[in-house]
Structure 1
Amino acid sequence: SVNSSVSDAAVLKYQRAMKDGAIVNLNAVGDRSYLSRGFTLSKSVPVEIYAVGEGWKGEMFDYGWLIDANTRQKVWQMRYDKTDHAGGAIKNRVERETINLAAGDYLLYFKTDDNHSHEKWNANPPYDPEFWGVAIFPKDKNFDESILSDYRDEKEKALLSLIRVGDNEYKESGLSVEKSGKFRIYALGEGRDGEMYDYGWITDVETGKTVWKMDYRKTEHAGGANKNRLFNDLVYLDKGKYIVHYKTDGSHSYNDWNSSAPYEPDKWGISIYQAGKDVVAKEINSSNLKAENVIAQLTRVGNDEHLRRRFTLDKTTQIRVYAIGEGDWDEMYDYGWIENEETGRKVWQMRYRSTEHAGGAKKNRLVDTIITLDRGTYTVHYVSDDSHSYNDWNQSAPYKEIDWGITLYRIN
């Protein structure tokens, strides 16, 4: 009838007016969508977030979230336990939440799975189908639109980014922290059953120690296949110089996915963001970084090699020995040792019973110990057999494959 036609038109007009009044909106979202839109606020403002999506038994499938564009910190996320029934099928969920947004740059996201959306419903739609998605409205009816502007995430705000990493790749870069503080680490990788296969880690240049590693238990689902994992949290770094590392295995990486890609495929890798205004840090060339306290280093050892390096100590010295090699059943195949040049005697040797698992295949072994050597001249050796070594692995590589070999550090 004419009356119902007018009624439908009035509803659509009202909905358009609602959307026009939003600070930002991602609505009428279809299947398999991953949408984002940025905005900038020059002043703090209270807002209402209105989101309609799909969820069932505590899990959301179509949902939105909001992040700080500069730090990547989540400001808001649509969570099942905060939603109500949105009408129609019980899996239709709605959330209305009022929050205060500080002045800054923001990115709003909404993602959907492969069914039940504004494009095509496989069950009864919600009461408000045109708002399937997320919208942010000002709470103040007299909202000053001059404080709002568009934001485009074109300029990479990260202090350091190792992203778009492909199969069998290793990337690294240096980070100089001039003032201690917290940093946001945003790392996307591959993992399952408690183990990571594509992941990042950070080492201290002076000590060689790993100060942070992408741990499966501290990751969350990154969208797409369950094995897509995300670490998004704050990490404290002391003043100093660091190397940021990222490695991948031979499958499922940027532009060559063997399962569904994550929501942010371009971010596959690791990015580090400044979390506070007072933190001072910058990216530096890692090739120029070498610990001043490294006495000797034989690393990235290949098949059938016997490497050696002589060093002299002018006084009794405590030394940290860090070695990665191959071994099983109480026997080592790729390993290191130290000889006293004057006596020809071995003063230290990498033995299986003193090692621990180095990540990857069980035969990857690690020793990280402190020894004391008297004044004198020594030679450090490293020998490898004909298989499973740096850049030629016959099973999964260790976590720190570039350190395959032995490194000696002087302890100050």
Structure 2
Amino acid sequence: MRRFASRFLLVGLLITLAVFVIRAIDGAGNALASITSIEAEGQPERESFRVFDPVHVTIEAAGSFEGGEADTALAAHGWLVHRESGEVVWRMRPAERPARGTYVLMRDTLALAPGTYDAYYAALGAPLARTPRQGTSLRDRLSDALSGGGKGWIGDEARWKFVVALAPGVEEGATAGAMPPEDPEDLVWSTGSVGSNERADVVLRVTEAVQIELDALFEGAGARPVDSAFVTTLEGDTVWVARPATSEHAGGSLRNRRQTDTLALAPGQYRVVYHSDGDHAVGSWNANPPWEPWRWGLRIAPADSASRAGAIAPVDPLRDYPRVAEILCVDQPSATHEVRFDVVEALDLTVVAVGEIIGDSAYDYATITRGDETVWDMEEARLRPAGGDRKNRRAEERLSFIPGTYTLRYETDGSHHCGDYNGDAPDDPAFWGVVLLSSDGLPAGDRVRILGQSAEVEGQEAPATPQVPATVPENALVDLTGVENSEDRRETFRLTERTAVCVHSLGEISDSNRYDWGRITRPSGEVVYAMTFENSSRAGGNSLNRRSTAFLELDPGSYIAQYTTDGSHAFGSWSNGAPPTPALWGLIVYPAPEGAGEEGDPAAACAELPSSTEPEVVLPSTPPGVPDSTDLTVLSTVASNP
């Protein structure tokens, strides 16, 4: 009888063990999120999953209370967030703490609607909710030392877990794995996930009255915000600010605050700023994070039809701010480019740079120095993707400059640069370098003076500076120089015999557009010469300053020389770096040196100072009422300033 009972008991144990193993295997196979390797005081863990049809899930979560017997805050815990709504659909909330120790285990079932879910686990403690130690006895001090300063819950580390699985009998309707959370595309602006010691700011332009929604997650202690989030006018008047008193608890540590407001803005420009302190942020939490850690920062969403229609938008510095200095499309390997400039009057400048940075290593990058002091270093700036390869990084920051001499510098290594990328190019392949912009939207004018630009390429001698006329030749047939913004100047000249001439044009041209440029045409409209990107070269000052020198043999007849400028960056008002010979901004036509077309490169001869040889010029008869001027070589001059 005893033998039978023993055998019966053994069979029962084997069956129970088999059922346990089968359930364990089945549960693991149906797990949607399984966080089990958790480090005490380590950074939070996240696993995500997708639900396609309404399903039931089981939850098994183990965590710990803070160490004091009176503490009711969880030091280690898990929670589940419905990503689309931001709602916390489940979190560890034990009815009471255990009679002894800190460890707690919870099992639950939950119905989930379709959507994406993020399972989080954090074990960083809740120091603001921790009961301070009062005792000073040897026993108290020994207990404090053994518990890590009242953090006895750390000893529970090996048992922590957070597992979400499909309920028994449910085989489909959800899958493990999902992309990390990210901002929706319809936001007006977002800081992204903010780390420690980071600043994000933007200028928003409002063209008609709008309403927006601001959502800020920040650190606050008592009545004082530790992280700053605010909106001001460009004149400095405060429009909105995040404060602990006007915010609510955002989950986790009591210092996690969230403020959501609807704000009405009148037409104008506004500055938005978010600045974090040196700890407790994404990647460096020192207490349990909020329910949605990735949202730490500031987000601005449209809240009415006007804001949704684009009546509020970030100012694009590259499009909307005048340029002060630039080093762009750096295409030489192992090169160092520099622009030296004087700040005459204190002002704010925005720096935008794109380069190659991988982790903590910078390969193509920009810096700004003032003497031996580094004012700004791209490697230490807040970086964002520049498009293309992951190593293409972009920095954008507004800086305050006091009077002094500065150097804008861009350095490249031996590979992956403008025109020769060894990975995917950035979104704008030609923007590989750095540019300085006037942050107030006004040309820097006399507030900044460009001193010079230089480039050093490893293993190469500095290129010789092309010779160009330093002044307008005395025997010039056409002098359209010193052309200012928004002008359209013309001069007509006539030749009585086939004549060789030199044309020198200095203007602003990119590979896709002509902003300031010259040309020569016949009265019939036939183009004899036109300045283009292809027939010009860099003139110094900045990459858009271009110089074109041409040798032409013109038949007898009349010709029209014309030079046109757009509304920025011209003689007397350089929004970018001025060329070395700013007074020659425009077009010059002068006689070619004798014999220039017979041997060698005629254009090279045109780069030299001209001789005094002049072609024969036939003047029209003097109209009635106009004084006779038989020494004129120009028939007419027309200047238009729209």
TM range (shorter): 0.5 to 0.7
Q: 1:334 offset after TM fit, Å?
A: 0.6
Structure of higher RCO (CA pairs closer than 8 Å, 6+ residues apart)? 1
Equivalent-residue separation in structure 2 for 1:338 and 1:344 (angstroms) = 9
Q: 1:364 offset after TM fit, Å?
A: 3.3
The answer to whether the 8 Å contact 1:38/1:153 transfers is no
Correspondence 1:244 to 2:234: no
In the TM superposition, what are the counterparts of 1:31-70 in structure 2 within 5 Å? 37-39=17-19
Correspondence 1:216 to 2:93: yes
Of the structure 1 ranges 345-354 and 243-252, higher mean CA displacement relative to structure 2 is found in 243-252
For residue 260 of structure 2, give the secondary structure of its aligned residue in structure 1.
Answer: strand
Equivalent-residue separation in structure 1 for 2:119 and 2:207 (angstroms) = 33
Name the amino acid aligned to 1:355: S
Cα deviations by residue, 1:347-387 (Å, 9 ceiling, x for unpaired): 42212320223445544322234445678875532012345
1:78 matched residue in structure 2: none
Name the amino acid aligned to 1:176: R
Correspondence 1:331 to 2:321: no
The answer to whether the 8 Å contact 1:205/1:290 transfers is no
CA 269–362 in structure 1, closer or farther in 2 if over 3 Å, else same: same
Correspondence 1:404 to 2:279: no
Which of the numbers 18, 33, 41 marks the counterpart of 1:160? Answer: 33
For residue 217 of structure 1, give the secondary structure of its aligned residue in structure 2.
Answer: coil
CA 366–228 in structure 1, closer or farther in 2 if over 3 Å, else same: same
For residue 180 of structure 2, give the secondary structure of its aligned residue in structure 1.
Answer: helix
Correspondence 1:22 to 2:9: no
**Structure 2, unaligned stretches of length 5 or more?**
126-146, 305-642
Cα deviations by residue, 1:168-217 (Å, 9 ceiling, x for unpaired): 1322232221113332222222224321222222333334x232342333
The answer to whether the 8 Å contact 2:183/2:192 transfers is no
2:249 matched residue in structure 1: 357
CA 218–205 in structure 1, closer or farther in 2 if over 3 Å, else same: same
**Structure 1, unaligned stretches of length 5 or more?**
1-9, 27-36, 40-65, 70-104, 108-151
Cα deviations by residue, 1:69-115 (Å, 9 ceiling, x for unpaired): 8xxxxxxxxxxxxxxxxxxxxxxxxxxxxxxxxxxx546xxxxxxxx
In the TM superposition, what are the counterparts of 1:3-402 in structure 2 within 5 Å? 11=2, 13-22=3-12, 24=14, 37-39=17-19, 105-106=22-23, 155-167=28-40, 168-192=42-66, 193-207=71-85, 209-217=86-94, 226-249=101-124, 258-259=154-155, 265=159, 268-275=160-167, 277=170, 280-287=173-180, 289-309=182-202, 319-339=212-232, 346-371=238-263, 379-392=271-284, 397-398=289-290, 400-402=292-294
Equivalent-residue separation in structure 2 for 1:408 and 1:401 (angstroms) = 17
Q: 1:260 offset after TM fit, Å?
A: 5.4
2:550 matched residue in structure 1: none
Instruction: Count how many residue pairs are aligned between Structure 1 and Structure 2.
Output: 274
TM-score by length of 2: 0.36
For residue 56 of structure 2, give the secondary structure of its aligned residue in structure 1.
Answer: strand
The answer to whether the 8 Å contact 2:124/2:287 transfers is no
Of the structure 1 ranges 314-323 and 351-360, higher mean CA displacement relative to structure 2 is found in 314-323
Rg comparison, structure with higher value:
2
For residue 165 of structure 1, give the secondary structure of its aligned residue in structure 2.
Answer: coil
Equivalent-residue separation in structure 1 for 2:95 and 2:187 (angstroms) = 32
Equivalent-residue separation in structure 2 for 1:22 and 1:329 (angstroms) = 60
What percent identity do the matched residue pairs reach? 22
Q: 1:340 offset after TM fit, Å?
A: 6.0
1:46 matched residue in structure 2: none
Equivalent-residue separation in structure 2 for 1:278 and 1:370 (angstroms) = 44
The answer to whether the 8 Å contact 2:64/2:156 transfers is no
Equivalent-residue separation in structure 2 for 1:22 and 1:191 (angstroms) = 37
Equivalent-residue separation in structure 1 for 2:179 and 2:101 (angstroms) = 33
CA 386–298 in structure 1, closer or farther in 2 if over 3 Å, else same: same
CA 288–332 in structure 1, closer or farther in 2 if over 3 Å, else same: closer
Equivalent-residue separation in structure 1 for 2:156 and 2:84 (angstroms) = 40
The answer to whether the 8 Å contact 1:333/1:385 transfers is yes
Equivalent-residue separation in structure 1 for 2:245 and 2:224 (angstroms) = 9
Cα deviations by residue, 1:279-299 (Å, 9 ceiling, x for unpaired): 611123333754345443325
Name the amino acid aligned to 2:224: E
Cα deviations by residue, 1:260-311 (Å, 9 ceiling, x for unpaired): 567xx3xx33221123637611123333754345443325433433212456
For residue 194 of structure 2, give the secondary structure of its aligned residue in structure 1.
Answer: coil
TM-score by length of 1: 0.53
Equivalent-residue separation in structure 2 for 1:358 and 1:393 (angstroms) = 14
For residue 246 of structure 1, give the secondary structure of its aligned residue in structure 2.
Answer: strand
Name the amino acid aligned to 1:22: G
CA 261–278 in structure 1, closer or farther in 2 if over 3 Å, else same: closer
CA 260–230 in structure 1, closer or farther in 2 if over 3 Å, else same: closer
Name the amino acid aligned to 1:269: K
The answer to whether the 8 Å contact 2:80/2:91 transfers is no
